Chain A
Amino acid sequence: DAKTTQPPSMDCAEGRAANLPCNHSTISGNEYVYWYRQIHSQGPQYIIHGLKNNETNEMASLIITEDRKSSTLILPHATLRDTAVYYCIVRVPKAAGNKLTFGGGTRVLVKP
């Protein structure tokens, strides 16, 4: 799986949009971009994933650049409960073993 680079931490004001960047310059054509988050002492929570088109669900939006070398996760209206470590992963779906490899992630602190 391609490696990803994320800022180690960022702060966000409650009620504002949080834009979390991720670089994946070595992504290959069949790799998807996945985002998970992990709230302290809980299991990782799936947020969203996409291949090349922008995606939106009830939790967030995923914007993938045209060259697919970077992406941004957008939390439209951050709440205190969004404080967590956010992980960007690129992987081939349905690959043998299908393990997820989490890097350092971005520690997001939402402040009142």
Chain B
Amino acid sequence: SQTIHQWPATLVQPVGSPLSLECTVEGTSNPNLYWYRQAAGRGLQLLFYSVGIGQISSEVPQNLSASRPQDRQFILSSKKLLLSDSGFYLCAWRSSWRAASTDTQYFGPGTRLTVL
């Protein structure tokens, strides 16, 4: 079965510090990978998605960047964090080969980031 991991689970960082969040998926190959952010009491905002190694699409101009150095690894980074970067960061995956009737996204446990 497939498993998705995220770490760290929680993070408190000062404004202006760098950021690196990691997401890995097990049990599947060539997944589509996604980074979402969920602000307190708000819905999900898609930040980045990737359909393959080195392929990154950005949905919203951000103080953030993403990379996919390996097939099942997705990294979210920032050089200098802003207060507005605080939130709950979720990684998700979906199979790239599934038929429409079985297509869905599965989420990781999330990383709660607080920027002070």
| Chain A interface residues toward B at CB < 8 A | 32, 34, 41-46, 49, 51, 93-94, 97-104
Sample 14 A-B pairs with CB under 8 A, ordered by A number.
Answer: A41-B88, A43-B92, A43-B110, A45-B107, A49-B104, A51-B101, A93-B104, A98-B34, A98-B105, A100-B36, A100-B44, A101-B44, A102-B44, A104-B43
Docked Cα-Cα span, A66 to B98, in Å, equals 26
Closest chain B residue to A103 by CB distance? B43
What's the nearest-Cβ distance from chain A to residue B114, in Å? 13
Bound: A42/B107 CA distance, A: 9
Find chain B residues with CB under 8 A from A44 CB: 44, 90, 107
**B59-A97 in contact (CB<8A):** yes
Given contacts A43-B107, A49-B104, A51-B101, contact A99 B112 (CB under 8 A): no
B43 and A102 within 8 A (CB): yes
Q: Are B49 and A43 in contact (CB under 8 A)?
A: no
B interface secondary structure, majority: strand
Q: Is the CB of A98 within 8 A of B49?
A: yes
Binding site for A on B (CB under 8 A): 6, 32, 34, 36, 43-44, 46, 49, 57, 59, 88, 90, 92, 94, 98, 100-101, 103-110, 112
Q: Kindly list chain A residues whose C-beta atoms are within 8 Å of the C-beta of B36.
A: 99-100
- Asked if A97 and B49 sit within 8 Å, CB to CB, the answer is yes
A94 touches B100 (CB 8 A): yes
Collect the chain A residues with CB atoms within 8 Å of residue B103's CB. 93-94, 98
